[in-house]
């Protein structure tokens, strides 16, 4: 509430101020993302989710890994960490266990979370650590020069698959579900309203939640594959994204310029790591455990 | 049971290390199973329930140290424990810990390497890795205990130094020290000196994570206090924001190194014996130092003018004292359970003032000290 009022106040007071001044580090703008990139929309969705939730920003902590999306932590005005490549989740695990009051959000890219951080992703989901992961999937390693990613569809071109990618891409929602995530959804950066809503639901849900956002990389992915500008990718999402809530996650593979199924796929209950751990400690302390 | 298990107890070095952590206020331990260090974790996990601490088995050593860094920013004193291959995996986050200036303790109970090596054998092959293991330029504090009592004391000191300097501190033990059982005196909690990190409590808009003081150490805050700080492993300015320039790189890294090198007198700790008139000096550390000290005392009885210089801190290295001693003695012997690591540093710091010789120690024969006595006698005959 406070945040909303403050937002209105700043808007009314100074027309030069951005309505998201409260959530973003305006002293760091302009950001580093290329024209046509979709990460900015994810940040906008995240910022408006925080505002709509009327959550105290002092209680939010954003942890990022490395890469284009890894830079998000540096633009959000909360306690924020820009860590090592792939290790945002274990770092976030430490923060959350150290201060269970915090709402910890990991925002990072597909390479960071599914490739180098794949093991951490599986185990954070298995333990059901109470964090929300927003995984921006642009099908490519962009910051390092457009290399093939574990999410690159077959047979897309990248700088390291000059004759087309022949590897099978990862299905992130399926991985999350099988590892034990309690909330899994996927949107594209076109679905601003639904993505925002999904981030709110994911953050409110105790346990490990994942919001995957398919997002255009206009500089590498679409240019190498001759798919036009960022806006053309958004147009493609508009024509080819199909909302199917509850779709079994095995059907969520993404083909090259094929239909993209979006929606909320998993929403279930499971005790979180901290709940189990605290419960376990209580049982041991009271000596009720049968040996 | 209390957090501080005061009194005198017979316990192994590994258990003493866990008790040291608990006594100094460590309430978070993340680890990944490996030997021969595991007894530390086992003991900590059993005692954890008494002190409302948290321990978590992560998916690998990389994530174990990452979680420790996260917990440290949440305001906890945190440690991780590992051996050999696990230490190699942790190197990435030693660098992050240095760059984010995060207090934490890494206990490494060394085994023989390389690779999987000899997991139940003792060794000192990670001396140089502990100093130079992560990429880029940095300084790190490394302590070397030689008995269970020092495993306790140095774990406490490691936490105190990490809080004082806002830096990861490595307790570089070895399997022999970790497994040996001796009497350990644990002081009462009120008698212990416990240092806390420099906290910032000023107005929220005034906080910059890397604004520092005369001691070159920046003030720290906790996650969730409302300071809404940003920190990054990238080269950063005083606000913690990444700045890609040579100037900022210099500003950033120069200070992170300087905060340790300029204040190394606060850190460096060693023990000397019979050095006043020594002609032969034995430089030693870790479990080998037990045999080396005994060897020196033995040859003294036979009239050989030998002395020992036992290092309690390996890094920063006591360069000044080493040079003074090198100017005084004729020969320096460096017995190590490796193929010559700290020997290189001793040789460098002696600047040719004395003959420096390496004495290889095998784990199975180290206890007798026979090879050290033999080496001293060989040198004394030559002289």
Of B62, B96, B223, the CB nearest to A61: B223
8 A C-beta contact, residue B322 and residue B316: no
Bridge partner list, B332: B281, B356
**Shortest Cα–Cα distance, B227 to chain A (Å):** 7
Same fold yes or no, B7-191 and B272-382: yes
Per-residue model confidence (pLDDT) at position B367:
80
Which residue, B30, B28, B96, is CA-closest to B58? B30
Can you state the angle between helices A39-53 and A2-13, rounded to 10 degrees? 120
Query: Which of B68, B74, B135, B210 to substitute to test the interface with A, most A CBs within 10 Å?
Result: B74
Residue A16 clears pLDDT 80, i.e. is over it:
no
Kindly tell me if the per-residue pLDDT of A282 is higher than 90. no
C-alpha distance from A40 to closest chain B C-alpha (Å): 19
Compute CA distances A144 → A236, B119, B236, whole Å: 25, 38, 20
pLDDT computed for residue A127 by the predictor: 97
Comparing CA positions, the residue from B72, B81, B104, B227 lying closest to residue A98 is B72
The answer to whether residue A147 is domain-embedded is: yes
> CB distance B63–A81 less than 8 Å?
no
- Of the candidates B185, B231, B174, B171, the residue with the CA atom closest to the CA atom of residue B207: B231
Residue A125: inside a domain: yes
Contact A90 B62 (CB under 8 A): yes
Mean pLDDT of chain A: 93
Q: What percent of chain B has pLDDT over 70?
A: 99
- What is the token pair recorded at B306? 């030998």
Strands (E), chain A: 60-64, 79-82, 103-109, 131-137, 140-141, 147-148, 183-188, 209-214, 241-243, 260-267
pLDDT digits (tens, 9 = 90+) for A185-198: 999 999 999 999 99
pLDDT of residue A47: 96
pLDDT above 90 for B211: yes
Query: Which pLDDT value is given to residue B318?
Result: 97
User: For residue A12, is it within any domain?
Assistant: no
Average pLDDT over residues B20-34: 97
**DSSP secondary structure string, B235-273?**
-B-TTS-B--SHHHHHHHHHHHHHHHHTTHHHH--EEEE
Q: Which two tokens stand for residue A39?
A: 């990460």
DSSP assignment of A70-109 equals GGGGGGBSSEEEE-STT-HHHHHHHHHHH-TTSEEEEEEE
pLDDT score, position A9: 58
Q: What is the ipTM of this complex?
A: 0.96
- A60-64 and A103-109 as β-strands: parallel, antiparallel, unpaired? parallel
Please say if the pLDDT value at position A281 is more than 60.
yes
CA distance B92 to B90: 6
Residue A79 located in a structural domain: yes
| Of residues B145, B200, B197, the one with CA closest to residue B171 | B145
Cβ atoms of B141 and B313 closer than 8 Å: yes
> Is the Cβ of B94 closer than 8 Å to some Cβ of chain A?
no
- Cβ atoms B313, B345 nearer than 8 A: no
Q: Which residues of B touch A284 (CB under 8 A)?
A: 49
Give the model's pLDDT for residue A179. 97
Burial tier of A21 (Cβ tally within 10 Å: 0-12, 13-18, 19+): middle
Average pLDDT, chain B: 95
Distance to chain A for B47, nearest Cα, Å: 12
The SS3 call for residue A24 is: strand
Q: What would the pLDDT profile of B162-173 be if each residue is shown by its tens digit?
A: 999 999 999 999
CB contact under 8 A, B230 and A82: yes
Q: What's the CA gap between B194 and B161, in Å, rounded?
A: 10
Q: Using CA atoms, how far apart are residues A49 and A55, in angstroms rounded to an integer?
A: 9
B301 Cβ contact partners less than 8 Å away, ≥ 6 residues apart: none
Match domain B272-382 to its CATH number in 3.40.640.10, 3.30.9.30, 3.30.365.10, 3.40.50.920. 3.40.50.920
pLDDT band, very low/low/confident/very high, at B124 (cuts 50, 70, 90): very high
Res B363: pLDDT: 82
Q: Under an 8 A CB cutoff, do B92 and A87 touch?
A: yes
Residues of A with CB under 8 A from a CB of B: 25, 28, 57-59, 61, 63, 73-74, 77-84, 87, 89-99, 101-102, 119-120, 122-123, 277, 281, 284-285
Strand-strand pairing, A60-64 and A79-82: parallel
Split at pLDDT 50, 70, 90, the class of B1 is confident
Our CA-based measurement puts residue B1 at a distance from the nearest CA of chain A, in whole angstroms, of: 12
Taking contacts as CB-CB distances below 8 angstroms, the residues of chain A near B72 are: 94, 98
Contacts of B190 (CB under 8 A, 6+ apart): none
The CA distance from A225 to the nearest CA of chain B, in Å, is 31
Q: Do B70 and A98 touch (CB under 8 A)?
A: yes
Rounded distance between C-alpha atoms, residue B120 and residue A69, angstroms = 43
The alpha carbon torsion through B375, B376, B382, B383 (nearest 10 deg) reads 160
Residues of chain B found within 8 Å of residue A81, distances taken between Cβ atoms: 70, 73, 100, 230-232
Domain count for chain A, please give it: 1
Cβ-defined contact of B70 to A77 (cutoff 8 Å): no
Cα–Cα dist A124/A273, whole Å = 9
- CATH number for the region B7-191 comes to 3.40.50.970
Cα separation, B110 vs B121, whole angstroms: 9
Residue A48 falls inside a structural domain: yes
Residue A171 lies in a domain: yes
Best mutation target, A98, A276, A280, to test chain B (most B CBs within 10 A): A98
- Supply the range of the domain harboring residue A196: 19-285
Closest residue in A to B64 (Cα–Cα)? A90
Q: Which residues contact A178 (CB under 8 A, 6 or more apart)?
A: A249
How many angstroms away from the CA of A232 is the closest CA of chain B? 32
**CA of B21: how far to CAs of A31, B150, B179, B298, in Å?**
43, 13, 17, 36
Angle between helices B61-73 and B84-100 (to 10 degrees): 30
> Which residues of chain A does B233 touch, with a Cβ-Cβ cutoff of 8 Å?
82-84
Asked, for residue A10, whether it belongs to a domain, the answer is no
Beta strands in A92-235 (DSSP E): 103-109, 131-137, 140-141, 147-148, 183-188, 209-214
Overall average pLDDT of the A259-269 stretch:
98
Asked if A160 and A224 touch (Cβ cutoff 8 Å), the reply is no
Percent of residues, chain B, with pLDDT higher than 90: 93
Cβ atoms of A102 and A61 within 8 Å: the answer is: yes
Q: Could you tell me which residues come within 8 angstroms of residue B95 by beta carbon, excluding any fewer than 6 positions away?
A: A84, B134, B135, B136, B138, B233
Indicate the pLDDT class of residue A13, thresholds 50, 70 and 90.
low
Q: Name the residue facing B224 among A58, A90, A94 (closest C-beta).
A: A58
Cα A142–A146–A152 angle (5° rounding)? 90
Chain B residues near residue A120 by CB distance under 8 angstroms: 59, 63
**HSE (side-chain half, CA atoms, 13 Å) at A221:** 29
Per the CB < 8 A criterion, the answer to whether B67 and B56 are in contact is yes
> Which chain A residues are within 8 Å of B33, Cβ to Cβ?
none
- Centre a 10 Å sphere on the Cβ of residue B212 and count the other Cβ atoms it contains: 16
Q: Which two tokens stand for residue A201?
A: 């639901």
Q: Taking CB atoms and an 8 Å limit, are A82 and B234 in contact across chains?
A: yes
Q: Are A232 and A147 in contact (CB under 8 A)?
A: no
Residue A12: pLDDT above 70? no
Query: Residue B383: what pLDDT?
Result: 62
| CA distance linking residue A172 with residue A135, whole number of Å | 9
Handedness of CA B284, B288, B290, B296 (dihedral sign): negative
Q: Calculate mean pLDDT across residues A25-49.
A: 95
Interface test with A, best of B51, B230, B241 (most A CBs within 10 A): B230
* Alpha carbon separation from B374 to A72, B179, B188, B239, B360 (Å, rounded): 63, 27, 43, 58, 12
Nearest residue, CB atoms, B74 vs list A28, A95, A123: A95
| Cβ separation B78–A94 shorter than 8 A | yes
Nearest to A87 among B63, B71, B223 (CB): B63
Strand, coil or helix: what is B232?
Answer: strand
Residues in chain A closer than 8 A to B93 (CB atoms): 84, 87
If you search the block for the tokens 């990862």, which residue do you land on? A170
pTM: 0.95
**Which of B62, B64, B241 lies at the smallest CB-CB distance from A74?**
B241
**Where do the domains of chain B lie?**
7-191, 272-382
* Confidence category of residue B52, pLDDT binned at 50, 70, 90: confident
């Amino acid at each position: 509430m406070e945040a909303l009022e403050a937002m209105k106040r700043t808007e009314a007071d100074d027309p030069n101020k951005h309505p998201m001044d409260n959530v973003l580090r305006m002293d760091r703008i302009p950001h580093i993302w290329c024209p046509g990139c979709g990460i900015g929309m994810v940040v906008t969705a995240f910022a408006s989710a925080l505002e709509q939730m009327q959550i105290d920003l002092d209680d939010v902590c954003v942890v990022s890994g490395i890469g284009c999306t890894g830079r998000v932590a540096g633009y959000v005005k909360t306690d924020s960490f820009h860590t090592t490549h792939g290790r945002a989740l274990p770092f976030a695990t430490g923060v959350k266990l150290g201060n269970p009051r915090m709402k910890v959000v990991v925002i990072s890219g597909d390479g960071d979370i599914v490739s180098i951080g794949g093991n951490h992703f599986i185990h954070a989901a298995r333990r059901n650590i109470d964090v929300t992961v927003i995984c921006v999937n642009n099908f490519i390693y962009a910051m390092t020069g457009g290399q093939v990613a574990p999410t690159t569809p077959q047979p897309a071109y990248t700088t390291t698959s000059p004759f087309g990618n022949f590897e099978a891409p990862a299905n992130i929602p399926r991985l999350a579900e099988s590892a034990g995530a309690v909330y899994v959804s996927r949107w594209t950066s076109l679905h601003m309203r639904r993505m925002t809503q999904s981030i709110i639901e994911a953050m409110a849900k105790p346990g490990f939640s994942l919001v995957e956002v398919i997002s255009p990389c206009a500089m590498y992915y679409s240019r190498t594959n001759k798919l036009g500008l960022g806006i053309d990718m958004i147009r493609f999402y508009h024509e080819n994204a199909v909302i199917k809530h509850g779709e079994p996650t095995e059907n969520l593979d993404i083909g090259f310029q094929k239909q993209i199924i979006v929606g909320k796929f998993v929403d279930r209950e499971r005790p979180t790591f901290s709940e189990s751990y605290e419960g376990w400690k209580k049982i041991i302390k009271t000596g009720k455990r049968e040996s | 049971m209390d957090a501080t298990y005061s009194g005198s107890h017979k316990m192994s070095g590994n258990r003493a290390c866990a008790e040291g952590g608990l006594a100094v206020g460590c309430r978070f331990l993340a680890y990944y199973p490996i030997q021969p260090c595991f007894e530390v974790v086992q003991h900590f996990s059993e005692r954890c329930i008494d002190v409302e601490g948290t321990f978590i088995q992560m998916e690998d050593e990389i994530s174990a140290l990452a979680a420790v860094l996260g917990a440290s920013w949440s305001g906890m004193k945190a440690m991780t424990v590992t051996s050999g291959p696990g230490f190699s995996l942790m190197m990435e986050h030693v660098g992050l810990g240095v760059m984010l200036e995060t207090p934490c303790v890494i206990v490494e109970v060394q085994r023989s390497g390389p690779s999987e090596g000899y997991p139940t054998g003792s060794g000192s092959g990670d001396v140089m890795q502990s100093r130079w293991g992560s990429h880029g330029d940095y300084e790190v504090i490394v302590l070397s205990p030689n008995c269970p009592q020092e495993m306790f004391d140095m774990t406490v000191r490691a936490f105190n130094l990490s809080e004082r300097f806002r830096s990861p501190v490595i307790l570089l033990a070895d399997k022999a020290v970790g497994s040996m059982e001796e009497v350990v005196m644990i002081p009462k909690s009120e008698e212990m000196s416990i240092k806390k990190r420099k906290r910032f409590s000023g107005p929220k808009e005034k906080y910059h994570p890397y604004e520092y003081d005369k001691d070159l150490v920046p003030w720290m805050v906790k996650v969730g206090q409302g300071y809404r700080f940003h920190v990054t492993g990238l080269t950063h300015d005083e606000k913690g924001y990444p700045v890609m320039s040579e100037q900022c790189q210099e500003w950033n890294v120069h200070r992170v190194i300087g905060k340790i090198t300029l204040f190394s007198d606060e850190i460096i700790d060693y023990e000397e014996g019979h050095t006043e008139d020594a002609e032969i000096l034995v430089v030693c550390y870790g479990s080998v130092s037990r045999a080396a000290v005994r060897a020196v005392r033995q040859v003294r009885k036979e009239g050989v003018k030998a002395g020992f210089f036992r290092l309690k801190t390996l890094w920063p290295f006591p360069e000044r004292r080493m040079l003074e001693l090198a100017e005084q003695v004729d020969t320096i012997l460096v017995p190590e359970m490796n193929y010559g690591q700290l020997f290189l540093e001793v040789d460098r710091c002696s600047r040719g003032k004395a003959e420096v010789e390496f004495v290889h120690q095998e784990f199975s024969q180290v206890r007798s000290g026979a090879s050290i006595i033999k080496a001293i006698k060989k040198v004394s005959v030559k002289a």
